[in-house]
Amino acid sequence: MPYEKRFTLRESHRAAVAGARPAGAVPNDEIIHASVVLRRRSAPTGTGKLRRMSREAYGAAHGADPAALDAIEKFAHQFGLSVAERHADRRVMVLSGTANAMQKAFGTQLARYQTREGVTYRGRSGALNLPTELEHSVMAVLGLDNRPAAKPHFRKRTAAGRATSFTPIQIAQLYNFPSGVNGSGQTIAIIELGGGYSTDDLNTYFTQLGINAPQVSAVSVDGGQNQPGGEADGEVMLDIEVAGAVASGAQIVVYFANNTDQGSHDAIAAAAHDTTHQPSIMSISWGQSEDSWTEQARNAMNAALEDAATMGVTVTVAAGDDGATDGAADGQLHVDFPASSPFAVACGGTTLKASAGAISSEQVWNDLASGNGATGGGVSDIFALTLAPYQQNAGVPALASGFAGRGVPDVAGDADPATGYAVLVDGQNAVIGGTSAVAPLWAGLVALINQQMGKPLGYLNPLLYQVPESVFHDIVTGGTDGYNAGPGWDPCTGLGSPNGTALMNALMGASAAAGS
């Protein structure tokens, strides 16, 4: 009989949230949507030098094997599940069915739990068990457990004191962003796992800045919606307003998904493979410490980010706002994921001060002593340095365990709420910081450079480590709770903040030399 023999998907193992308590059973007839992520039919060439491909060519070469998709569909029907979505290019099949059917299909038990913060989620523990017929096809099964997967990396200013603020345009001027370009012809994808935006607010904000509002649209992923009215609106509006102010001629597409591992993966995959909007840049301001994700979720998301890099999409990701521990309960050093992916440009944070229209000082953002956050950064204990060969000569320190990991961040920018960004959120003026501001800032800069070049920069990481150090403002002052800044790359601010025009000129030369 088919499907009687099972294998354990070890990468799917997970435990209950620390401190969570049981909160009842999951009704057998509750409808669940789960994303089955399949393996590629063939792998790209590797992290050092990716051969750029069109979305159509990439899907044909590295998408899911049609036979594997058919096998998943047959399996689903055998267990009373239906196919809600089928994406060969993204390697995702979304299955729908009752909780009872899902538990039988994937060999698990579901229950309700409530966290210390009062959040109720549908959870599981242990690993999933699937029929051996699918062993060589399935990379991950996401969505059975719908606990919150990530947190937004923005910080609202809590006290004025001696604080100041900047508009995104002023920040761009301080960093010498290229003039004469506005990102026209570029599409910036923004990943959001909650919250929403108001078109009226956006129009008001950009009118106040004296610039045309960018074209902004929303895409629903796994049922996620543009739903303004909550705390996460600060994240959504910050992302759009920073990127849009820097690159007002760009099209901005916001991919809304639920804050789960399924939503995180599926939104990234949807943006990467979007043949309608065709983003050339992706900005992500949500994340969580590496160890908080299951191995299957990290693997699937990292593969989606590799897809994006190979298809010419530059991905900028916030490095976190909780210092070198990334806010982990164990107090040990951690870096944030997806920022730690070798295919992401990890964006750290600084405290920026200016006088007479020029930078007067810039140092590592660290206000942990007053509870107001600090830049994330450090060394991955998941992704080996060999997966980020562009950092081989950057001086990334080994961990105490001896593991040589990928260093975070790659670059930096103003993130301190005390020197934060003036934005408009839900009709109210606000000053917001966090590395969430740095990811869209760099996304906007890449849009300007792409327009000037006449082609996308694409996988930016290797190029960043080839250009002269002089195109960055090297941050050598300050530190976090685990690392100190110093000359060249460091685990607080990476290579530094940008001298935008100088960086553009250097990248254009490096890109031409690399033939990309």
Give the other-Cβ count within 10 Å of 329's Cβ: 10
Res 343: pLDDT:
97
Strand, coil or helix: 147: coil
Task: Give CA 58 to chain center in angstroms.
Answer: 21
In the chain, what is the straight-line distance between the N-terminal and C-terminal CA atoms, in Å? 52
Res 4: pLDDT:
85
The CATH H-level superfamily of 151-514 is Peptidase S8/S53 domain (3.40.50.200)
Res 368: pLDDT:
94
Tens-digit pLDDT profile for residues 97-115 = 999 999 999 999 999 999 9
Res 157: pLDDT:
84
Question: What amino acid positions are annotated as catalytic residues?
Answer: 235, 239, 436
Nearest to 194, CA basis, from 256, 119, 268, 117: 256
The Cα–Cα gap between 274 and 276 comes to 5
Question: At 464, phi and psi to the nearest 5?
Answer: -60, -35
Tens-digit pLDDT profile for residues 26-82 = 999 999 999 999 999 987 765 556 778 999 999 999 999 999 999 999 999 999 999
pTM higher than 0.85, yes or no? Answer: yes
Res 317: pLDDT:
98
The Cα–Cα gap between 74 and 105 comes to 12
The Cα–Cα gap between 225 and 221 comes to 8
Domain boundaries for CATH 3.40.50.200 within the chain: 151-514
Cα distances (Å, whole numbers) of residue 451 to 50, 52, 187, 357: 22, 18, 11, 26
Instruction: Work out the burial of residue 356: count CB atoms within 10 Å of its CB; fewer than 13 is exposed, 13-18 middle, 19 or more buried.
Output: exposed
Structure tokens at 188: 């910036």
The Cα–Cα gap between 76 and 83 comes to 7
The Cα–Cα gap between 134 and 36 comes to 11
Residue positions counted in the chain: 516
Where the chain has pLDDT below 50, the residues are none
Nearest to 408, CA basis, from 387, 431, 433, 432: 387
Res 514: pLDDT:
60
- Cβ pair 124, 145 in contact under 8 A: yes
Strand, coil or helix: 471: helix
The Cα–Cα gap between 113 and 331 comes to 24
